[in-house]
Amino acid sequence: MLDEVEITKLIVENYMKDLMEYADLDVAIVGAGPSGLTAAYYLATAKKKVAIFDRRLSIGGGMWGGGMMFNKIVVQEDAKHILDDFSINYERFGDYYVADSVHSVTSLAYHATKEGAKIFNLIGAEDVIIKNNRVSGLVINWSVIGELPIDPLSIYAKYVIDATGHESEVIKTLVRKNNIKLNTPTGSIEGEHSMDADTAESVIVDNVKEVYPGIFVTGMAANAVFGSPRMGPIFGGMLLSGKKVADEIIRRLS
């Protein structure tokens, strides 16, 4: 006989076990889009304790919809090796590789979680912890509470990655709430520029930086914070910047 309450207890008990285990992390990533998932995979492969928090029910961010809901993504030659790392199937068209976006998201998520990265969906990062002028963790809450006045909880992380895409939400909150200067030309958020795929993809990896002690930007958030253009549905930069932030943090942690 299946027992409803036994099922309930198994869910609650095991979820709480995860939450306790991941309350103190090497790396906390905000956003389970392509850049966050890629970063999580390489960090987990290097045996770092890493978790991603995404406020949506589903992971994958802006990758599912390809371009304008045509669910294909395009990746350039420079990033092909990352498609291979994730065993993503693709077809070659000259210098471009075309992959199915659903297959791509699920492959990124499969390999990241298989390597040990933990994904907490339905949890948003609403703030950061700052100690001694350094970001030291995240303030998290259920994303479905709406306007209810419910206090959040907090988790520690040696490094935080803002992988929230165009909105660069964590950095926006950091700047809004604290009288600080970012490691950007003006010391503040430079703001995303209009579409220029070639420029956007050529600068995105350089834009992956520790913008304030303890916090890095990657993916579209990196271009938004550093005043670079958007690129549309070419995804090499998302993958390459996810790998770059992982490599950089792995280097610092060792």
- For ligand 48F, the binding residues (CB under 6 A) are 30-36, 53-56, 61-63, 124-125, 163-165, 167, 169, 219-221, 230-235, 238
Cα(218)–Cα(235) distance, integer angstroms: 13
Say whether 18 counts as a known binding-site residue.
no
State how far the Cα of 162 lies from the Cα of 58, in Å rounded to an integer.
18
Token code pair at residue 88: 């993503």
Q: Which is nearer to ligand 48F, 46 or 139 (CB)?
A: 139
Q: Could you tell me the smallest distance in angstroms from the CB atom of residue 76 to ligand 48F?
A: 12
| CA 128 from centroid of its chain's CA atoms | 15
Unique residue bearing structure tokens 């979820």: 15
Identify the CA nearest to 107 among candidates 199, 9, 201, 235: 235
Instruction: Give me the least distance between CB of 222 and ligand 48F, in Å please.
Output: 8
Q: Which is nearer to ligand 48F, 31 or 214 (CB)?
A: 31
Question: Is 35 annotated as contributing to ligand binding?
Answer: yes
CA distances from 24 to 74, 199, 220 (A): 36, 38, 26
Q: For ligand 48F, which is the closer residue by CB, 32 or 130? A: 32
Q: Any known ligand binding at 101?
A: no
Quote the CA–CA distance of 161 and 39 in Å, as a whole number: 9
Nearest-10 Cα torsion for 133, 134, 136, 142: 80
Is 220 part of any known ligand binding site? yes
Report the residue number, 116 or 152, with the smaller CB distance to ligand 48F. Answer: 152
Q: Is residue 151 part of an annotated ligand binding site?
A: yes
User: 197 in helix, strand or coil?
Assistant: helix
Query: CB of residue 108 vs ligand 48F: minimum separation in angstroms?
Result: 10
CB of 52 vs ligand 48F, minimal distance in Å: 8
Pick out the residues of the known binding site. 35, 62, 151, 166, 220, 230
Pick out the residues of the known binding site for glycine. 230
